[in-house]
């Protein structure tokens, strides 16, 4: 484990702190995005925004109160839907019910749920209850905020009460009990105890022991060519005889470690770029501690300028292309706005944005983000992280898990505790389990971005004394979204493409948040749509996007970036330069910090 005192003596000091820290910015009132139904989109993503905000016990009580309020305000509708449910139970009892789980609902994939009359009736009763409760909430005489809160608490309760979560009503667990003579429960109890002690009571999602950074993941050849107190800059070695003159500088999320794009070689986006003749530089952020609580968006944005200057000097290119993914894209947008305000926008020619929402919905009562993003909750979240100095990566991971509890919690509850199986050894999950922290100031800045929507409201954000106006940013843009992304909904990612003009390219991949990024060629189930972001509405864009392309979007993006990366020249024989000599081999030292 690398500590601050372990940083080698040749580390380069960071530039002075920004003149106007992010926490002192002057904000204008935010304006709701035009031409997009982001409110309705957010309502479908029950916990959108809450990984940064958290959900307090009082918020859960308030959500439960909204559900009770629905019953109190509309008792007739409550009785009507209760009657419908009782009728469904009667139909189930006489074997005349057609209720069935969704084909992709893995909880009821075991044939016994259909073959055994008792289990089939139990499953149908559960599904009918879920349907009746959902229909009642939709019909209840509640405002959008209360309706969203009622929907939220109902979904948590219904998911938790699924019969598949119980030993005596899970056919696979019962078979395992007989087959192992009860050893599955003994193993499950051990794993449950371990999770209580070491994972704060959450079921472990992965066995990370087989994965070693620099050995079987994060193995792309490269060197650290710049290090300061906030980041390391990795330059990766090209694998082609010739390279393009204009380099690509990548800004990954501060919420995670960079190597999501460098897992096993066959799914490494970094390896794909090396093989594409692209001169690649990737930032590896330091994992901050409480001593770094004052690192904010302004400081991180200025780090990008140091990385760009190093890439320009090493390659001899007058400008660069850049890539920003998820929260790293927020940093990139702030940096581009800062460059434009200083008249230095020519440093960056083209940009790629992966699963990144810049045009954020305003926190209004009719958005699900507004379910818990009250001024009191936001102040409490900021105060909590400031006291601790950081927002824990484990806390964020817990909230991300509760965004998809069936997949990320109850699935592992059954696997680990009822079946007594070890969690899977999977590189993507190992990366996801390798959490990082957010400095308190950056956490506060992210919450302000959600509230102020500054990239769509000129003047609402200042970086190092410069007022940010994204209408002054002139860059080519390639934007990727995922159809099943529950963190950055694709409709919001489409809004990012619209910020950079109708000539921007938008790509919609049939995957979720991380899977749309880690999307190597070869998966027969992969497909995507690609077209200019010329339509004002995302659904209108999708309807007019043309043919569906089979396979990964990576080859499509390769053509786009190569065409915008300048002339071909012989690949460099050595990495770095006299000014920026190699300090150590990739993946560097900061990525190893816990």
Q: Cα separation of 361 and 37, whole Å? A: 9
Q: Is the pTM of this model over 0.75?
A: yes
Domain that holds residue 528: 4-25+221-369+425-592
> Is 381 contained in some domain?
no
Helices 183-198 and 171-180 meet at what angle, rounded to 10? 110
> Is 70 contained in some domain?
no
Whether 536 has a pLDDT exceeding 70, the answer reads yes
The residue count of the chain comes to 594
Phi, psi angles (nearest 5°) of residue 273: -75, -40
> Is 385 contained in some domain?
no
For 345-384, write each residue's pLDDT tens digit: 999 999 999 999 998 763 333 334 456 667 787 888 899 9
> Is 417 contained in some domain?
no
> Is 11 contained in some domain?
yes
Q: Cα separation of 398 and 386, whole Å? A: 20
For the chain, state the CA radius of gyration: 25
Q: Cα separation of 225 and 234, whole Å? A: 6
Number of domains comprising the chain: 1
Question: Which CATH number characterizes residue 568's domain?
Answer: 3.40.50.1820
> Is 80 contained in some domain?
no
> Is 446 contained in some domain?
yes
Q: Please say if 303 is a catalytic residue.
A: no
Percent of the chain with pLDDT over 90: 71
For 294-332, write each residue's pLDDT tens digit: 999 999 999 999 999 999 999 999 999 999 999 999 999
Catalytic residue among 326, 356, 493, 584: 326
Mean pLDDT for the stretch of residues 431-449? 93
Question: Quick one: which H or E segment has residue 234?
Answer: strand 231-236
> Is 454 contained in some domain?
yes
For 374-399, write each residue's pLDDT tens digit: 778 788 889 999 999 999 888 887 87
For 36-56, write each residue's pLDDT tens digit: 332 333 333 333 445 676 666
């Amino acid at each position: 484990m690398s500590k601050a005192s372990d940083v080698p003596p040749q580390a380069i000091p960071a530039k002075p702190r920004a003149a106007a820290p992010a926490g002192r910015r002057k904000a204008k009132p935010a304006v709701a995005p035009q031409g997009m139904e982001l409110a309705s989109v957010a309502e479908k993503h029950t916990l959108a925004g809450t990984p940064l905000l958290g959900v307090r016990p009082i918020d859960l009580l308030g959500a439960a109160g909204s559900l009770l309020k629905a019953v109190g305000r509309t008792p007739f509708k409550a009785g009507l839907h209760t009657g419908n449910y009782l009728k469904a139970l009667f139909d189930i009892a006489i074997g005349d019910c057609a209720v069935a789980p969704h084909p992709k609902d893995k909880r009821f994939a075991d044939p016994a749920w259909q073959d055994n009359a008792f289990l089939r009736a139990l499953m149908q009763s559960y599904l009918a209850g879920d349907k009746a409760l959902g229909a009642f909430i939709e019909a209840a005489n509640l405002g959008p905020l209360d309706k969203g809160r009622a929907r939220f608490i109902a979904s948590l309760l219904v998911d938790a009460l699924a019969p598949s979560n119980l030993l005596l009503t899970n056919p696979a667990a019962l078979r395992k009990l007989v087959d192992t003579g009860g050893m599955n429960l003994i193993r499950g109890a051990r794993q449950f105890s371990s999770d209580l002690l070491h994972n704060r009571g959450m079921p472990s999602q992965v066995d990370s022991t087989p994965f070693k950074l620099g050995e079987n993941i994060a193995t792309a050849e490269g060197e650290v060519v710049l290090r300061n107190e906030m980041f390391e800059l990795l330059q990766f070695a090209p694998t082609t005889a010739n390279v393009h003159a204009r380099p690509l500088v990548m800004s990954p999320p501060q919420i995670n470690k960079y190597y999501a794009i460098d897992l096993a070689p066959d799914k490494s986006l970094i390896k794909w770029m090396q093989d594409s003749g692209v001169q690649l530089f990737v930032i590896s952020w330091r994992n901050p501690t409480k001593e770094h609580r004052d690192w904010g968006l302004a400081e991180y944005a200025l780090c990008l300028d140091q990385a760009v200057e190093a890439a320009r000097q090493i390659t001899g290119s007058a400008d660069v292309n850049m890539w920003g993914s998820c929260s790293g894209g927020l940093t990139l947008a702030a940096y581009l706005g800062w460059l434009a305000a200083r008249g230095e926008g020519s440093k960056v020619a083209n940009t790629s944005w992966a699963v990144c929402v810049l045009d954020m919905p305003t926190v209004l009562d009719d958005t699900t983000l507004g379910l818990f993003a009250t001024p009191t909750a936001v102040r409490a979240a900021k105060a909590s992280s400031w006291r601790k100095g950081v927002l824990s990566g484990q806390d964020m991971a817990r909230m991300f898990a509760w965004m998809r509890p069936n997949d990320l919690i109850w699935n592992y509850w059954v696997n680990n505790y009822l079946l007594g199986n070890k969690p899977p050894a999977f590189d993507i999950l190992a990366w996801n389990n390798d959490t990082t922290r957010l400095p308190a100031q950056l956490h506060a800045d992210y919450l302000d971005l959600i509230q102020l929507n500054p990239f769509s409201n000129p003047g609402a954000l200042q970086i190092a004394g410069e007022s940010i106006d994204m209408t002054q940013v002139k860059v080519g843009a390639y934007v990727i979204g995922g159809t099943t992304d529950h963190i950055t909904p694709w409709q919001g990612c489409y809004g990012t493409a619209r910020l950079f003009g109708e000539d921007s390219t938008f790509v919609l991949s049939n995957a979720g948040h991380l899977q749309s990024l880690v999307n190597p060629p070869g998966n027969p189930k992969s497909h995507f749509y690609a077209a200019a972001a010329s339509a004002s509405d995302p659904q209108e864009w999708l309807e007019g996007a043309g043919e569906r392309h089979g396979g990964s979007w990576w080859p499509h993006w390769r053509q786009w970036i190569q065409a915008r990366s300048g002339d071909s020249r012989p690949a460099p024989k050595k990495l770095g330069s006299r000014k920026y000599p190699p300090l150590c081999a990739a993946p560097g030292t900061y990525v190893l910090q816990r």
